[in-house]
Amino acid sequence: MTKTQDGAELCFPQLFNTSCKKLMPPWFEVMLIHILLSSILLVTVALNLLVIISVSHFRQLHTPTNILLLSLAVSDFLVGFVLMPGEILKKTSCWFLGDFVCFLYNYLSIIITVSSVGDMVLISVDRYVAICYPLHYNTRITLNRVKFCVCLCWLCCVSYSLLITKVFPTYPDRNAPCYGECVLVVGYIAGIVDLVLTFIIPVTVIVALYLRVFGVAVSQARAMRSHITAVTLQLSVTPKAKKSELKAARTLGVLVVVFLMCFCPYYSVSLAGDSLVNASYASFIVPMFYFLNSCLNPVIYALFYPWFRKAVKLIVTLQILQPGSCETNML
């Protein structure tokens, strides 16, 4: 068995000069990674698949807001189906899948991550228009426009990921990766641009829109309590409709807050530098926040959306296989 001078085993002994050293984490760390990530993986894939089937199958759920939730569920499903297995392999073993699979993994990881951010921005815009301009919501936020925006978002994510992985990848202050690891290292300028475009600007937009939504929601709630909503806000919708929109804003507000809490640690690594990136606790804990967010999103739907609980019951009992089940009343 080929070893280096310090006694470490190599991933590819036949490539003595270019092979990476084998990862030798403590057994309890390996078990912890497998148990935690595998558990989150199974829950994430199962719950988000239920969301995808629910919104796709039942015609009454084909609303602009639910289409955005469907897009987010697709991103979260891919996190569990693609990113988590790759992360388990990277943290517990050498990368034996080759350069092409490594490139594909990095390429997909950027698409999935950025698409989640883009979906959150679209959800915030949707709630902003619904609460701040309710009279114009049905004319401005149509089903076809939302579908177009979702497709455009994914197309931009695909193009952006290709740009980052093929145009900008460099290896500053270090040699090219050794055989047996899968990493994507970008230059300093590209890293700053990525941080600004995929985190700082989107988060600023999300926070600004939801602060405005929160302010208007508080004003509407006070006006409704004083029974002068129609005069004060000059709205022609019914109190019931307003209450429904406010409830949706609160639910999606929880979704956005959880997203920010999970993504801030994930992106803060870019600001912290190599000292934090190379720390073993950070390299394990930080991605966990991102993965946990994909698991929590459908849990939030289950807690706040009765239609999702009803849809899950119909799916689990296989009632969706009956003819005409797509026309079931879900609201």
Which domains does the chain possess?
Answer: 27-327 (1.20.1070.10)
**How far apart, in whole angstroms, are the C-alpha atoms of residue 180 and residue 90?**
9
The CB density around residue 298, as the number of other CB atoms within 10 Å, is 27
Query: Is 224 a residue whose pLDDT tops 80?
Result: no
The structure tokens listed for 102 are: 């490594």
110: closest CA among 92, 145, 86?
Answer: 86
Q: Give the model's pLDDT for residue 114.
A: 93
The CB density around residue 175, as the number of other CB atoms within 10 Å, is 7
Q: Give the model's pLDDT for residue 243.
A: 62
Grade residue 37 by pLDDT with cuts at 50, 70 and 90.
Answer: confident
Q: Euclidean distance between the first and final Cα of the chain, in Å? A: 64
CA atoms within 13 A on the CB side of 293: 27
Q: Give the model's pLDDT for residue 150.
A: 97
**How far apart, in whole angstroms, are the C-alpha atoms of residue 136 and residue 145?**
14
Query: Is 238 a residue whose pLDDT tops 80?
Result: no
Contacts of 320 (CB under 8 A, 6+ apart): 53, 57, 314, 326
Grade residue 236 by pLDDT with cuts at 50, 70 and 90.
Answer: very low
Burial string for 280-296 (b: 16+ CB within 10 Å, else e) reads eebebebbbbbbbbbbb
**Distances 186 to 51, 164, 166, 192 between C-alpha atoms, Å:** 35, 8, 10, 10
Average pLDDT of span 172-197: 72
Is 85 buried (19+), middle (13-18) or exposed (0-12) by CB count in 10 A?
middle
Supply the pTM of this predicted model: 0.84
pLDDT above 70 coverage of the chain, percent: 77
- DSSP three-state, residue 85: helix
